[in-house]
Structure 1
Amino acid sequence: MEVLVEKLQQAFQLTSDLVEGLEASQLSLGLGELPSNRIGEQLWCVVGARESYFKAIQKSEWAGFNCSLINVASKPEIIERLQLTQSDIIAFLSGKTLSDKQVDLVIDLLTHEIQHHGQLIRYLYGNGIKFPKSWRQKYSL
């Protein structure tokens, strides 16, 4: 469990590093003519998944998707939600023994976070945005 929490914490930190390096105006960027939402909307999904999976992990069952992030164009609000969800989840998981169902939900959360990293890589490439050092090192960008 300790390794899983460490991997989750690393993924969360990578997401934070990316957002902190973005300019607020970049949150409204999409992928040109390609069907896509906006960077801020990708982050809305990240926050919502963290909140929803956290609730599911606590209850040992899926309880639906909800997201408290209101303004997907507000960098301060996104950073606040990312920090809060990271600290809540890591504090809850640290030192706990989880059921197999809970571990499965933690793995689903980690998978979801990393899947968004892949999507966000496309957004940054597509918009000529520089990657943070942590992303260049982790993903060989």
Structure 2
Amino acid sequence: MLNIILTNLENRFDVFNDILATVDDNDFHKKLDVPKNKSIAEHLWCVIGARQSFARAIQAGEWQGFECSLDTEAGPAAYKAALDKATAIFHRTVRDLDTWSDDREALLAQLYEHEVMHEGQLIRQVYGLGLSMPATSTWA
């Protein structure tokens, strides 16, 4: 099961990179006129922070709290750099683990659930802005 979750996470990572690559500066911080809507930037900020936070948690074997290193007002290039860095931190954490415990696997599953939730929200956002989802998104 562990390898399935890791493979599925990699697919989500690709989707977020592809979304970021196709969105221009004008749409990046734009919100839809619906209650509690978040911009693409706000969703990606949460994804970046989650990758950073879950990497720390998986390494420690328990939740360590949420933190995101990125300023929410940054532009797409800064988000791309932060997304790449958070992904690299996650990969390094997984690669360097000696053993997987049930607690670590549960944290990994929670990260996967978080990524899937944000992908669904981004599908709504991207389509609401009149844009197209990348082909890598199997849910769109």
TM-score, length of structure 1 as denominator length:
0.89
Farther off after superposition, 94-103 or 119-128:
94-103
**2:52–2:89 CA contact under 8 A, matched in 1:** no
Q: Deviations over 1:2-34 (max 9, x none)?
A: 222211111111111111111122111111143
Percent of paired sites with the same residue: 31
Rounded Cα–Cα distance in structure 2 between residues aligned with 1:11 and 1:105: 16
SS in 2 for 1:94: helix
**1:24–1:73 CA contact under 8 A, matched in 2:** no
Partner of 1:58: 59
Rounded Cα–Cα distance in structure 2 between residues aligned with 1:72 and 1:40: 8
Partner of 1:69: 70
SS in 1 for 2:136: helix
Query: Do residues 126 (structure 1) and 128 (structure 2) align?
Result: yes
Query: Do residues 115 (structure 1) and 120 (structure 2) align?
Result: no
Q: How many residues align?
A: 138
Rounded Cα–Cα distance in structure 2 between residues aligned with 1:73 and 1:22: 14
**1:27–1:72 CA contact under 8 A, matched in 2:** no
**1:54–1:89 CA contact under 8 A, matched in 2:** yes
The equivalences for 1:91-106 within 5 A come to 91-94=92-95, 96=97, 97-106=99-108
Q: Which amino acid in structure 2 is aligned with residue 52 of structure 1?
A: S
Partner of 2:85: 84
Q: Which amino acid in structure 2 is aligned with residue 61 of structure 1?
A: E
Q: Which amino acid in structure 2 is aligned with residue 32 of structure 1?
A: D
Rounded Cα–Cα distance in structure 2 between residues aligned with 1:102 and 1:30: 35
Runs of 4+ in 1 over 6 A off after TM superposition: none
Q: Deviations over 1:14-57 (max 9, x none)?
A: 11111111112211111114331222111111111111111111
**Where in structure 2 are there 5+ consecutive unaligned residues?**
none
SS in 2 for 1:3: helix
Rounded Cα–Cα distance in structure 1 between residues aligned with 2:36 and 2:88: 34
**2:29–2:41 CA contact under 8 A, matched in 1:** yes
**Where in structure 1 are there 5+ consecutive unaligned residues?**
none
TM-score, length of structure 2 as denominator length:
0.90
| Alpha-carbon RMSD | 1.6
Rounded Cα–Cα distance in structure 1 between residues aligned with 2:91 and 2:34: 38
